[in-house]
Structure 1
Amino acid sequence: MTEGDGNGFDTMSRRPPSRSIIEAVAEAEGVPAHELRPPTYESLHTVIDPDALDALFEPHADGTVRPAGRVTFPYCGYTVTVDADGSVSLE
């Protein structure tokens, strides 16, 4: 894992993006995911609606995956990017 200088931290999974974000930030911070909560860390809800984010990247109703899409936002001092393929990167 590398942080800063434009390098990213990537994870690929079938977990909902909101969960992947929490796990990636927790790993980058060197803490267990369950410790990534206020008051030490901001809540994901303060910067983005996790349910809406997860719904945005769910497969289509017929089960096909979404071919494209990307969301980028600041969270816990990182720039978080979620891609349609399920990858989460932190910079």
Structure 2
Amino acid sequence: MAETAITEKVVTKVADREGVPMTELGPPLYRAINPAALDALVRSFEDKQRAGSVEVAFAYNGYRVTVRDDRTVRIDDGTDDDSPETDE
């Protein structure tokens, strides 16, 4: 069984945070970052044993999204709350 694409995880987590279905989330992810390039970057590190050494951060739909090469997705809404939503 193939793992979920990291971009799908990003969109799912932001949609969950917003309380809307993925199909109603806007703007589309490609307006913030190239989805194919992000998926390819994360996939390129899956064969390496350096998990956690690379991360990509970008703004999307009012959130700061951080994706690490170990497939961790962090959604931060910019508040002072020290407990951002993370998925491993």
TM-score category (smaller protein):
0.7 to 0.9
What runs of 5+ residues in structure 1 fail to find an aligned partner?
Answer: 1-13
Q: How many residues align?
A: 72
Aligned residue number for residue 70 of structure 2:
85
* 8 Å contact kept, 1:59–1:66: no
Structure richer in helix, relative to its length = 2
Identity %, equivalent residues: 36
* Of 35, 46, 51, the match for 1:50: 35
Q: Secondary structure at the match of 2:10?
A: helix
Give, in whole Å, the separation in 1 of the partners of 2:10 and 2:61: 11
Pick 1 or 2: higher relative contact order, CA cutoff 8 A, min separation 6: 1
| Higher mean C-alpha displacement, 73-82 vs 63-72 | 63-72
Q: Which residue of 2 aligns with 1:76?
A: 61
Q: TM-score, normalised by structure 1?
A: 0.71
Is the CA contact 1:44–1:50 (under 8 Å) kept in the aligned structure 2? yes
